[in-house]
Amino acid sequence: MKRFIVVTLLVGLAAASVWSSSSVVPPAPNGITMPDGWRDWRVIAVSRRADKHQVRAILGNDVAIAAARAGRTNPWPDGAIMAKVAWKEKEHENFPGAFVPADFVQVEFIVKNKAKYPDTGGWGFARWVGLKLKPYGQDAHFVNECFACHTPMAANDYVFTRPARFP
Amino acid sequence: MKRFIVVTLLVGLAAASVWSSSSVVPPAPNGITMPDGWRDWRVIAVSRRADKHQVRAILGNDVAIAAARAGRTNPWPDGAIMAKVAWKEKEHENFPGAFVPADFVQVEFIVKNKAKYPDTGGWGFARWVGLKLKPYGQDAHFVNECFACHTPMAANDYVFTRPARFP
CA B148 from chain centre, in angstroms, equals 19
- CATH number for A25-156 (one of 3.40.50.800, 2.60.40.10, 3.50.70.20, 3.20.20.70): it is 3.50.70.20
pLDDT computed for residue A23 by the predictor = 63
- In angstroms, the separation between the Cα of residue A134 and the nearest Cα of chain B is 11
**Is the model's pLDDT at B26 over the cut of 80?**
yes
Tell me if A160 and B94 make a contact (CB, 8 A cut-off): yes
Report the residue of B20, B34, B46, B56 to disrupt the A interface, i.e. the one with the largest count of A CBs within 10 Å.
B46
pLDDT reported for residue A118: 97
**Three-state DSSP state, A166:** coil
Q: What is the structure's pLDDT at B14? A: 44
Nearest CA to A161 out of A32, A43, A37 is that of A43
Q: Mean pLDDT in chain A?
A: 91
Percent of chain A at pLDDT > 70 equals 86
A42 neighbourhood in chain B, CB within 8 Å: 39-42
Across A40-58, average pLDDT? 98
Residue B106: C-alpha distances to residues A165, B51, B56, B128, B133 (Å): 11, 16, 10, 6, 7
How close is the nearest chain A Cα to the Cα of B33, in Å?
A: 15
- Reported as a single tens digit per residue, the pLDDT across B35-87 is 999 999 999 999 999 999 999 999 999 999 999 999 999 999 999 999 999 99
Q: b/e string for A61-89 if b means 16 or more Cβ within 10 A?
A: beebbebbbeeebebbeeebbbbbbbbeb
Which positions in chain A touch B60 (Cβ < 8 Å)?
Answer: none
ipTM above 0.85, yes or no: yes
Residue A158: its pLDDT value, please?
Answer: 98
pLDDT, tens digit, 9 for 90 and up, residues B98-121: 999 999 999 999 999 999 999 999
Q: Does A165 touch chain B (CB under 8 A)?
A: yes
On the question of pLDDT at A6 being above 90, the answer is: no
With 0.90 as the threshold, say if the pTM is over it: no
CATH number among 3.50.70.20, 3.20.20.150, 3.90.950.20, 2.40.420.20, domain B27-156: 3.50.70.20
What residue spans define the domains of chain B? Answer: 27-156
3-state SS record for chain B: CHHHHHHHHHHHHHHHHHHHCCCCCCCCCCCCCCCCCHHHCEEEEEEEECCCCEEEEEEECHHHHHHHHHCCCCCCCCCCEEEEEEEEEEEECCEEEEEEEEEEEEEEEEEECCCCCHHHCCEEEEEEECCCCEECCCCCCHHHHHHHHHHHHHHHCCCCCCCCCCC
CA–CA separation, B123 vs B110, rounded Å? 6
| Chain B residue numbers touching A56 (CB-CB < 8 A) | 46
Cα–Cα distance measured from residue A33 to residue A160, given in angstroms and rounded to the nearest whole number: 22
Tell me whether residues B55 and A48 touch, CB distance under 8 A: yes
Confirm or reject contact between B147 and chain A (CB < 8 A): no
Task: Check residue A141 and give its pLDDT.
Answer: 97
Half-sphere exposure of B113 (CA within 13 A, CB side): 11
The answer to whether B87 contacts A165, with C-beta atoms less than 8 Å apart, is yes
B12 touching chain A per CB within 8 A? no
* Predicted pLDDT of residue A2: 55
Contact (Cβ atoms closer than 8 angstroms) between residue A77 and residue A111: no
pLDDT interval class at A14 (50, 70, 90): very low
Taking residues B79-96, what's their average pLDDT? 98
**Backbone dihedral angles phi then psi of residue B11, each to the nearest 5 degrees:** -60, -40
pLDDT, mean of residues A143-154: 97
